Amino acid sequence: MAKTEHRPTSRVLDILELLANNQEGLSLTEIAEAIDAPKSSILPLMHTMAQRKFIFFNAHTYKYSIGIGSFCVGSAYTSNMNALQFIKSEMKYIVKKTNEICQMGIFDRGQVLYVAKVDSDDPIRIISYVGKRLPAYCTALGKALLCQKNIDDLRELYPDGLKEYTPNTITDFEVLAEQLKVVRKTMVATENGEANEQSYCLSVPLFKGDDILAAISVSIPSFRMTDEKTELIKSLLLETKVKIETFFREHDIDSTQLTLSS
C-alpha cells in the first residue's frame, strides 16, 4: 500500500476489487487472507458495505459477493462514458468537415474547464489540452456558458474586474453583457484573439431544459479564418447542438456526467 493511501479506504477498495473477480463469492477468512488484513479489522467494513448493498452476504454459504450498489456505480460510469463517446463522435464529425480543433468545456467558478477535445490533422493548429482552465469571459466557450448571466451576475463572478490577457480582451462589464445578449439571441458565441491573439473561436451552449450543461467550440488560427469558413462552422455547431441536446434529454444526462475524458 502506498504511504499516501488511507488504510481503511484502501481495504474497502481491495475487498471490492477482490469480490468483483470472484463470482462464486468468498468467506470472511478468505477475504482477510487475500488482502492480508485481520478479520476483526475488516468485519465492520463488511457489515457497512453489506448494509449499503455494495456487497452481498449469503447466509447459507457464509460467503460474500459483489452487490447491487457496486453495479449501480459501475453502470453510472458506463453511462458517463457513453455520453462522452457520443459527444466526441459529433465533435469528430465537425473536425472532419472543418479540419480545425473542436473542444468541449464546462463552467467552474468563473472559469472554463476543458473536458474534451478532438484535434485536427493540420500541422498548424491551436494547441490546447483537457484539464486546461481559462477565464470564461475571454473565450468563446466561456461566453456560451455565461450567456444567461446579466451584468450584476458578471460583477459578482468577477469582483476584481476583467483582467486583460491580450489587447483584444474585453475588460468592460457592459460590453461583455451586450455580447452575451447576442449569444442568447443567436446561440453562437465568438472570440477574436481575446485569450490568444492568434486565434478565432466560435462556440454554442448545450442546454438541458433551462440549464447549460456544457459548450462546444471550434478554434481556428486567425490567418485561416474566412467568411465562408465562419458560416460553415456556425452551421455545423448549431446542427450538432440539436443532436447533443436531444441526447441529453433522451438519456437524462447531467453535468456530473461530462467530466471524464481523455
Is it the case that residue 261 has pLDDT exceeding 80? no
Closest to 141 (Cα-Cα) out of 223, 237, 232, 245: 237
C-alpha to C-alpha distances, 162 to 33, 136, 142, 157, nearest whole angstrom: 59, 10, 13, 10
Q: Which residues contact 30 (CB under 8 A, 6 or more apart)?
A: none
Q: How many CB atoms lie within 10 A of CB 50?
A: 15
* pLDDT value for 75: 63
* pLDDT value for 129: 76
pTM over 0.85: no
3-state secondary structure of 90: helix
C-alpha to C-alpha distances, 105 to 1, 43, 77, 87, 111, nearest whole angstrom: 35, 44, 19, 12, 9
The residues spanned by each domain of the chain are: 7-71, 81-257
Question: Can you tell me the distance from the alpha carbon of 21 to that of 256, in angstroms, rounded to the nearest whole number?
Answer: 28
- CB distance 199 to 222 below 8 Å: yes
In the chain, the percentage of residues whose pLDDT exceeds 90 is 69
In the chain, the percentage of residues whose pLDDT exceeds 70 is 91
Model pLDDT for residues 198-242, shown as the tens digit of each residue: 899 999 999 999 999 999 999 999 889 999 999 999 999 999 999
Is it the case that residue 137 has pLDDT exceeding 60? yes
Model pLDDT for residues 12-63, shown as the tens digit of each residue: 999 998 998 787 899 999 999 999 999 999 999 999 999 999 999 999 999 9
Q: Which residues contact 207 (CB under 8 A, 6 or more apart)?
A: 213, 245, 248
* pLDDT value for 217: 97
More confident residue, 83 or 234: 234
Question: Can you tell me the distance from the alpha carbon of 39 to that of 47, in angstroms, rounded to the nearest whole number?
Answer: 12
Confidence tier at 123 by pLDDT (50, 70, 90): low
* pLDDT value for 6: 84
Instruction: Look up residue 167 and give its DSSP letter.
Output: T
Is it the case that residue 3 has pLDDT exceeding 60? no
Average confidence (pLDDT) over 80-101: 89
